[in-house]
């Protein structure tokens, strides 16, 4: 019974979060309080270990994908680049995109490097062991999976289609679902960047 | 060597494991130490343990992983947590075990636990119990709330535990083994009425999910599915699991309660007509 009361209290808190979210009017989904702050230890495109400390103080856009991704990943990364490009100049350098490849088998640091370069300077390519990637995706309540390889060894990878947005302090703030326009993403990022 | 990795929890919850261990240990200890004539038969024990293990299985094995990333598996999880598991547990009639532990609790402990007793009596008002039973299903399936619950670990656990506890309360009210003639247990007519009442909104909700053209629950789309299943198929299967099995369980429960009512029909008539005040003596 005590569980029950605790449960009710938690539900009430959840509702409060929901309410404050809709009051703020983001285009993305407000996930403040729903998810833990940004934390990872992955390998960057130089083969060095990287943590969120490296991009501390900037707004982080976390996105899971893979470089052989036929449509979703390039589309998302392009729309993020365009949204950032629309921001007032003072904010543009404050946004870091973290592209985490969940296909470490094929995505070597070199391959990842040339891929992320294509989408701008502020995109960081990251990957890690499958276990590290499983832990990170689990932390953000998402998953990934591999299809069976075809005759030429190509395979598809299922992954989250949303972008997780963390504020300068590393707190989870927004979830950008597919279907948002670059203008809407830009508005949200500007609003977030203008917070002190 | 068979692979037992499936049995390992996806999202390890020490509190959940502790709760299930306490329940099984408490049940087992009571069985070994209670009077022979009060002890449930082996079939009832098997039904009870099956119910408990089913609930544990969907919460603390790999099944939970699929529940988080597939809508229809999630519906299957709640079917077990809110319906099948508690249904079996209540049907196994663990009343002798409750009595055993109640007798062993000291008066001061009982005093401290009395607020729980009040809460229990309030929650077991038939109208409130039926409202909660359906209300929780609707609450957690409300698209925006469902989205949050699948994104937030604390909310996810709250959801699953609230479903399990509410399921236990509801099915215990329905399958309360005490006769309404001789005790204050809920009358059979009211139990049947509740079962029919809760079935209708569940069927409406399930049918609504099945026949929705668009994606009602896009969180599974956003967070990646456990394997590449067409979203429409996932939603359709989930809707069917919300619609048909719960309705069937209401029907089965109605049959069980009816059978019990018919069984008792002739039993108390004579004693009641002769001396109403003596009816309580049949309670044992």
pLDDT per residue as tens digits for the range B158-199: 999 999 999 999 999 999 999 998 888 999 999 999 999 999
CB-based contact A160:A137 (threshold 8 Å): yes
**Of A154-158, B47-51, B98-102, B126-130, where does mean pLDDT reach its minimum?**
A154-158
The pLDDT score that the predictor gives to residue B284 is: 40
SS3 percent helix, strand, coil of chain B, rounded to 5, is 80, 0, 20
Residues of A in contact with B116 (CB under 8 A): 1-2
Q: Does A141 touch chain B (CB under 8 A)?
A: yes
CA distance A100 to A44: 9
Residue A12 has pLDDT above 60, yes or no: no
Assigned CATH topology for domain A27-193: Glutaredoxin (3.40.30)
Q: Give domain limits for chain B.
A: 5-105+124-265
Q: Does B149 touch chain A (CB under 8 A)?
A: yes
Helix, strand or coil, per DSSP, at residue B149: helix
Q: Do A141 and B153 touch (CB under 8 A)?
A: yes
What is the rounded average pLDDT for all residues in chain B?
A: 91
pLDDT per residue as tens digits for the range A44-92: 999 999 999 999 999 999 999 999 988 889 999 999 999 999 999 989 8
Residue A3 Cα distances to B80, B159, B163, angstroms: 19, 11, 11
Q: What is the mean pLDDT of residues A117-143?
A: 93
Helix, strand or coil, per DSSP, at residue B178: coil
pLDDT per residue as tens digits for the range A145-176: 888 888 888 888 888 889 999 999 999 999 99
Q: Does B148 touch chain A (CB under 8 A)?
A: yes
What is the rounded average pLDDT for all residues in chain A?
A: 87
The pLDDT score that the predictor gives to residue A196 is: 63
Residue A15 has pLDDT above 80, yes or no: no
Structure tokens at B239: 């809707």
Residues of A in contact with B161 (CB under 8 A): 3, 7
CA distance B284 to B273: 19
The pLDDT score that the predictor gives to residue A174 is: 94
């Amino acid at each position: 019974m005590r569980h029950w009361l605790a449960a009710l209290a938690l539900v009430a808190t959840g509702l409060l979060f929901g309410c404050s979210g809709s009051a703020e009017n983001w285009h993305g989904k407000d996930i403040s309080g729903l998810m833990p702050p940004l934390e990872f230890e992955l390998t960057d495109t130089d083969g060095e270990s990287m943590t969120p400390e490296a991009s501390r103080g900037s707004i982080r856009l976390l996105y899971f994908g893979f470089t052989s991704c036929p449509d979703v990943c390039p589309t998302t990364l392009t729309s993020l680049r365009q949204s950032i490009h629309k921001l007032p100049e003072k904010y543009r350098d404050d946004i870091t995109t973290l592209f985490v490849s969940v296909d470490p088998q094929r995505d070597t640091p070199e391959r990842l490097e040339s891929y992320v370069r294509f989408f701008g300077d502020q995109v960081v390519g990251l990957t890690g062991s499958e276990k590290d990637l499983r832990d990170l995706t689990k932390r953000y309540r998402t998953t990934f999976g591999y299809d069976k390889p075809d005759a030429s060894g190509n395979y598809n990878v299922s992954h989250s289609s949303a972008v997780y947005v963390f504020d300068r302090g590393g707190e989870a703030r927004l979830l950008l679902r597919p279907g948002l326009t670059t203008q809407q993403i830009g508005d949200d990022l500007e609003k977030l960047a203008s917070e002190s | 060597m068979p692979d037992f990795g499936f049995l390992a929890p996806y999202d390890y919850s020490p509190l959940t494991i502790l709760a299930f261990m306490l329940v099984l240990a408490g049940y087992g200890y009571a069985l070994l130490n209670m009077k022979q004539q009060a002890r449930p038969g082996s079939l009832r024990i098997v039904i009870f343990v099956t119910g408990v293990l089913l609930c544990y299985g969907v919460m603390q094995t790999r099944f939970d992983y699929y529940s988080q990333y597939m809508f229809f598996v999630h519906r299957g999880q709640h079917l077990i947590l809110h319906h099948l598991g508690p249904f079996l547990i209540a049907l196994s009639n663990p009343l002798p075990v409750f009595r055993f532990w109640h007798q062993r609790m000291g008066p001061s402990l009982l005093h401290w636990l009395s607020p729980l007793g009040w809460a229990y009596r309030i929650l077991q008002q038939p109208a409130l119990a039926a409202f909660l039973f359906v209300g929780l299903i609707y609450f957690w399936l409300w698209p925006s709330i469902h989205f949050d619950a699948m994104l937030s670990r604390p909310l996810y656990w709250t959801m699953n535990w609230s479903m399990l506890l509410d399921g236990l309360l509801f099915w215990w009210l329905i399958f309360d083994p005490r006769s309404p003639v001789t005790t204050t247990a809920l009358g059979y007519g009211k139990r049947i009425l509740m079962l029919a009442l809760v079935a209708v909104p569940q069927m409406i909700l399930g049918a609504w999910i099945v026949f929705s053209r668009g994606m009602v629950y896009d969180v599974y789309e956003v967070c990646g599915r456990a394997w590449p299943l067409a979203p429409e198929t996932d939603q359709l299967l989930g809707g069917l699991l919300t619609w048909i099995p719960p309705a069937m369980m209401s029907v089965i429960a109605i049959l069980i309660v009816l059978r019990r009512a018919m069984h008792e029909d002739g039993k108390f008539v004579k004693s009641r007509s002769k001396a109403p005040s003596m009816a309580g003596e049949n309670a044992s």
